[in-house]
Structure 1
Amino acid sequence: MLMKLSRWTGGLLLCVLLGNVQAQLKIGQEAPSFQAEAALAGKPYQFSLSESLKKGPVVVYFYPKAFTSGCSIEANLFAQAADEFAQYGATVVGVSGDDIETLERFSNGPCGGKFAVASDADRSIMRAYDATMFFTSAMASRISYVVTPDSKIYFVHSSMNPDQHVSTTLAAVKKWYAR
């Protein structure tokens, strides 16, 4: 059955189909260092990638918007796996363009108080990590990086589907740990 698509519907379909096609940092590339206002278990603080890397690898995951269904699912999955990430010395931080007040609530809600979420209100971290949506730089795409203590990108997972980000980054952390 052939379906005639309007120009708008066809453009939307193209956006959905190309959702995983974007620029991203490459494995082995230097990870941009950053500091950002963040929240952990509802409490604001200053997150520093360089300080976190002193403890082990860091999973830096970008997500479009707090409290949306996909972002809440992904945050909940990271919260469920937080203790396992910690067993391998890994820190998890979520990054979005949300303001810190929203992230204070999100860190207690879907994040379960288990990991930090950082505010990138000026989108500078998203740009540095090539993590903006391909059709708007106002929002982060759903992309996860594993950064090793030597500040190198070790693993990248890019998919608008939130389901595999936790399992693939955890597998990468385990592989790095076992090296």
Structure 2
Amino acid sequence: MAKRKLFGLILTAGLMLSLQANAALPPGDKAPAFTLPASLAGHEFSFSLAKALKKGPVVLYFYPAAFTPGCTIEAHDFAEAMDQFQALNATVIGISMDQLDTLKKFSVSECRNRFAVAADESGSVSALYDARQSHDTHAARVSYVIAPDGKILLSYENRSPDEHVSRTLAALQKWKADSSRH
């Protein structure tokens, strides 16, 4: 009997930890405000979510590490789609736990000078967005679309970089269509 209770407690604790480690913030929640050092086309600046939202919706995507195969693919995909994001008046910002010097190079070569990337070296913003891998040294691959009012429209978590761009574009297009009807 004691072994069964102990097993049940261990199983429950393990399940709760796995849910917490991979639970992106849900649509409808208010996006946590933050400011981070960032780079666009190799030039350093301070990115503020609050300021970006004053201009329109924001696509916020977390990725594990600059210059890794999946993150490079994802950066190329976002760069290629920037005309579509700009047509929807959306700001795109990628966030990793890399150092800013690394991201300055990544913003030029892999982001192709088309969108900014921010350095969350401490992982504090990744933690706010439940986008931190369980071992805490890298961000998870999580994408968010945030409306100008600060509400999360989409949260999408998938280790594969393949659908992050198409899903964020679809969420923006739906938001724009819904907004124009009101």
TM-score past 0.5 threshold? yes
What value does the CA root-mean-square deviation take over the aligned residues? 1.0
Which structure 1 residue ranges, 4+ long, deviate > 6 Å from structure 2?
none
Matched ranges for 1:71-90 at <5 A: 71-90=71-90
Question: How far off its partner does 1:136 sit?
Answer: 1.0
Question: How far off its partner does 1:137 sit?
Answer: 1.4
Q: Distance in 2 between matches of 1:156 and 1:128?
A: 13
Quote the residue 1:124 is aligned against.
Answer: 124
Q: Distance in 2 between matches of 1:107 and 1:83?
A: 17
Q: Secondary structure at the match of 1:132?
A: coil
- TM-score where L is the length of structure 2: 0.86
Q: Distance in 2 between matches of 1:169 and 1:48?
A: 20
Matched ranges for 1:151-166 at <5 A: 151-166=150-165
Higher strand share: 1
Q: Deviations over 1:72-94 (max 9, x none)?
A: 00000000001110100100000
Question: How far off its partner does 1:116 sit?
Answer: 0.4
5+ residue gaps in structure 1?
A: 1-17
Q: Does 1:69 align with 2:69?
A: yes
Higher helix share: 2
Q: Distance in 1 between matches of 2:81 and 2:53?
A: 19
- Are the aligned partners of 2:24 and 2:156 in contact in 1 as well (CA < 8 Å)? no
Quote the residue 2:167 is aligned against.
Answer: 168
Q: Does 1:149 align with 2:148?
A: yes
Q: Distance in 2 between matches of 1:162 and 1:152?
A: 24
Question: How far off its partner does 1:110 sit?
Answer: 0.8
Q: Secondary structure at the match of 1:163?
A: coil
Question: How far off its partner does 1:24 sit?
Answer: 1.2
Aligned length: 159
Q: Distance in 2 between matches of 1:156 and 1:169?
A: 9
Question: Sequence identity of aligned pairs in percent?
Answer: 49
Quote the residue 2:15 is aligned against.
Answer: none
Question: How far off its partner does 1:163 sit?
Answer: 0.6
Q: Distance in 1 between matches of 2:41 and 2:56?
A: 21
Q: Distance in 1 between matches of 2:33 and 2:46?
A: 13
5+ residue gaps in structure 2?
A: 1-17
